[in-house]
Structure 1
Amino acid sequence: MQDGAAPHTARRVLTWLTDHFEGRVISRFTEKTWASHSPNLNPLDFFLWGHLKDQMSGEQFQTLNDLKSLVERLISAVTPEQYEDTIQHFLLRMRRCVQRDGGHIEQLL
């Protein structure tokens, strides 16, 4: 699933995704379209990316490998409790989404 962010909708990116995922790409510019105001239900979006961003704040990287190593270490450091909290929050988001008939849910969380 790709939202409408420019890096996700570039022709080169969509071509690569389409070539590798054979019709399973959900995006603004593919056969299966992404709803422009869909609720944020993906745990990577509502937890992991923000968590990593917070942990990496102020870090400087000399190489791409340095960045990759830090991301790997930070992901490995996510605790079982954080995973459990994320699962519980995901379930709450799903319930709210059903209650709102697929509408916005952020204001309810």
Structure 2
Amino acid sequence: MFDVDGIYNSQNQRIWAASSDEANEKGGIKMKQKFPKKVMVWLGVCSKGVTHLVIFDQGTLDHKVYIQNVLPVTLECGSKIFGEHWIFQQDGAKPQVHHLTQKWCQDKFPSFIDKDHWPSNSPDLNPLDYSIWDEFARAINWKTVISKTTLIKELKRAVKEIRQDVILQSCSSWTIRLQRVLKNDGCYLNK
């Protein structure tokens, strides 16, 4: 989810100052809208790069929208890049585990890790969560984002700026994490 207020995580970004005026001078006071305009985005990643960006600017994402708008992009990109020899993996979000989504994936993808064979919501096994989203968000020129329209325009531009070396490092890390999870009998990793 991206909104027009940009990236700011109060838990990770702190300014130490003697007063609020001094904090503001150092960029420590961030104004946020009560209900900022936002969009949801979907992006796939593999060692060869990223898929086409899919942007949802209206409503929420359910299994019907996911099947109609995301899965065909995934199938097209995966087949174009890898031909008939690749495996599709999801992270276990509600639209992804719906029985119709699972059937679509089983019927269409050359190989697919279904919901019963993938650790749901595993932070250790999702390369998008631990590096690609950060790279993508940092590529956005937040100064140009003033509306939903400019946010979407900037998202489309910034996705092309995701560096290939970051993608390769993320995928390499994913392979190592997968091996460690297998050694740990499918349990979360201890850092």
Q: Quick check: TM above 0.5?
A: yes
- CA drift of 1:98 comes to 1.0
Gaps of 5+ in 2: 1-39, 41-59, 72-89, 100-114
Report the counterpart of residue 50 of structure 1 in structure 2. 134
> Which of 69, 75, 80 pairs up with 2:159?
75
Q: Please tell me the residue identity of whatever aligns with 1:95.
A: Q
Report the counterpart of residue 30 of structure 1 in structure 2. 98
Report the counterpart of residue 17 of structure 1 in structure 2. 66
Gaps of 5+ in 1: 1-6
Higher RCO (CA 8 Å, separation ≥ 6 residues)? 1
Q: Percent identity?
A: 18
Q: 1:35 to 1:92 in 2, by over 3 A?
A: closer
Relative to the length of structure 2, the TM-score reads: 0.37
Contact 1:37–1:104 (8 Å) recurs in 2: no
Mapped to 2, the partners of 1:13 and 1:86 lie a distance apart of 28
Task: Decide which moves more: 85-94 or 26-35.
Answer: 26-35
Mapped to 2, the partners of 1:43 and 1:51 lie a distance apart of 11
Q: 1:88 to 1:12 in 2, by over 3 A?
A: closer
**Which of the pair has more CA radius of gyration?**
2
Relative to the length of structure 1, the TM-score reads: 0.57
Q: 1:35 to 1:80 in 2, by over 3 A?
A: closer
Higher strand share: 2
